[in-house]
Chain A
Amino acid sequence: MSRKILCVDTDDRVGAVADALDSEETMTTVQATTVEEARTALDEQAIVCVVTEYELADGSGLDVVRAIRETAPQTPCILFTDVPPNEVETDSFEEVIIEYVNRDLPDAHDRLAFIADDVINHSAQVGFLKPDDEQERLDALSRYDVDELPVQESFERLTDLIASHFDAAISFIGLLEEDEENFLACHGGDWDSLTRENTICTHSMLQEDVMVVEDIREDKRFSQNQQLENLGIVSYAGANMTTPDGHVIGQVCLIDHEVRSYSDAQRHELEQFAETAMEILQLRQSLLESRSLEVAQ
């Protein structure tokens, strides 16, 4: 599958940058020579990576980076420039992370193509940490044919029960895909999916035990997260859904609009609800596979 890269550079140099990237079989390029043209391209096309010069006619490469971070924050960006880092004006971009490639290096264009390929393949600029076995985890998740499993009613009943049991405003069951969390059932909210770096579950899944955040406004992993604030989330508790071979594929969670804590006994109960959700998913999948086998025979 071809991946589209936006190259933003001056008239006389953009062609050479695009040529370097086009030499990789799996990449195609879109060219722009101004921030405005870049914004238009980002609006109109599915861009998987941005390569930009710093000095542009109507602004800087960081303006281009900011434009894509507003709409697709996980998209990797590379600043390909001969302007040294200490001459780049970063005052209003303090937490915008980008890759920097010095175009004065002797192998600069080869290096650029190598790095672009690498950052795309590894989603290398996401704002969350991935487990070291992320690919195996995603493989394990893909073995559950969720779209074909009649789990929604069971999970809706379960999230109703969980919310009632804990007297929580919201209870949900979510699966953690590569880039987003998909909610299979949600009591108290109408949630479909969230970008993974905006979810608390992407942190919770890295812990073996139940993760509790009593007040997200006091935790710098979440306090600046506008999406969580918009959803009215104040406190969180999440337990892992773990496959029989040990991969965490999802979470069973409690959300409240006020600060709250959970006792050890409550945390244990939440873990049991997560195990129950996993068992339902596992049994439904086994049943689907058995029926498919019967039909094949």
Chain B
Amino acid sequence: MSISSEETFATGSLPLDPIQKGTSILLTGEDADALESVFYKLSAPQADERGVIVSTDESGRSTLRSLDRVSRGSKSRSSVLAAAGSGRDDSVETISDLSDLTMLGMTLSSVLAESQQLEPRFRCGIYLCSTICSEVDDVRSVYRLLNSNFLSELRRGDGLGVCAIDTSADIGANMQSIVAGMKTSFKVHIDVEKTGSREATLSISGLADSDDSVTVAL
């Protein structure tokens, strides 16, 4: 049985089959550049989609440029909640305090709802969830944010979600244990290991019809 393209999300230049809507991806890796490259390839919205990105470490403008480099035109289809820089663009909301998860959660809900008024299909990305974990006092509130605002939106709508964790970050908890736990709540886990100056290996679990390991150009 074939699945129509409305049921799936293309994976751009990554050698992966299209991914079923509603899929949540946990993206991990300890090389920030490799992680970022794969994140944008998965998160950049295509022609009939909207993108909503929570950017913890870069400005909204820089995030939009990164999206556009991966998929031309995706900048105009995206909204960014940025914890760095200032919001001088209609498509950028500035998050002044990343530890204020009440505000972050409400803003994410609001922007996702507005996006779905324009296009029901959406890609939602968090880069980096590890930075959010390091900013808060209690990681349970990050779990509540993921449950309430990220995983719930994917369950309810036609979306693809990517949540990135820099495993080299100090988040004030055992990273290996955190990732082991989060893997069970996400449908797909992709671990990115940089293997060359412009090459990485993706170790994949939970994605039907894909190899367990693929090599990608960065």
Chain A residues with a Cβ closer than 8 Å to the other chain, count:
49
Instruction: Indicate with 1 or 0, residue by residue over A209-232, a CB within 8 angstroms of chain B CB atoms.
Output: 001010000111101110000000
A129 within 8 A of partner (CB): yes
Please, which residues of chain A bring their CB within 8 A of the CB of B207? none
Please, which residues of chain B bring their CB within 8 A of the CB of A88? 102-103, 106
Please, which residues of chain B bring their CB within 8 A of the CB of A128? 140, 143
A150 within 8 A of partner (CB): no
Between B133, B177, B180, the greatest number of chain A beta carbons within 10 A of the residue's beta carbon is seen for: B177
B213 within 8 A of partner (CB): no
B contacts with A: majority SS: helix
Known A-B contacts A95-B137, A127-B144, A207-B177; A90 and B113 likewise in contact (beta carbons under 8 Å): no
B169 within 8 A of partner (CB): no
In the complex, the answer to whether A122 meets B99 with C-beta atoms within 8 Å is no
Question: In the complex, what residue of chain B is closest to A96 when comparing beta carbons?
Answer: B102
Please, which residues of chain B bring their CB within 8 A of the CB of A125? 144, 147-148
A157 within 8 A of partner (CB): no
Report the Cα distance A36→B103, complex, angstroms.
Answer: 24
In the complex, the answer to whether A95 meets B141 with C-beta atoms within 8 Å is yes
In the complex, the answer to whether B110 meets A97 with C-beta atoms within 8 Å is no
Report the Cα distance A206→B185, complex, angstroms.
Answer: 9
Please, which residues of chain A bring their CB within 8 A of the CB of B100? 90, 94
In the complex, the answer to whether B103 meets A85 with C-beta atoms within 8 Å is yes
- A131's partner among B99, B171, B185 (CB-CB below 8 A) is B185
Report the Cα distance A138→B18, complex, angstroms.
Answer: 31
- Stretch in contact with the other chain, from A99-107, A166-174, A285-293: A99-107
Between A76, A93, A118, A124, the greatest number of chain B beta carbons within 10 A of the residue's beta carbon is seen for: A124
- A95's partner among B101, B113, B117, B174 (CB-CB below 8 A) is B101
Please, which residues of chain B bring their CB within 8 A of the CB of A126? 143-144, 147
Per the 8 Å Cβ criterion, residues 120-157 of A in contact with B are 122, 124-132
Chain B residues with a Cβ closer than 8 Å to the other chain, count:
47
Report the Cα distance A221→B140, complex, angstroms.
Answer: 6
Report the Cα distance A105→B107, complex, angstroms.
Answer: 15
Report the Cα distance A219→B175, complex, angstroms.
Answer: 10
B145 within 8 A of partner (CB): yes
- Stretch in contact with the other chain, from B47-55, B66-74, B149-157: B149-157
A267 within 8 A of partner (CB): no
B105 within 8 A of partner (CB): yes
A233 within 8 A of partner (CB): no
A119 within 8 A of partner (CB): yes
A30 within 8 A of partner (CB): no
Please, which residues of chain B bring their CB within 8 A of the CB of A118? 152, 155-156
CB distance from A82 to the nearest CB of B (A): 11
Give me the 4 closest cross-chain CB pairs, A-B, nearest first: A127-B140, A95-B141, A100-B106, A206-B181
A-B contact pairs, 12 of them (CB 8 A): A95-B99, A115-B156, A118-B155, A125-B148, A127-B141, A129-B146, A203-B177, A206-B180, A213-B174, A220-B137, A221-B178, A223-B172
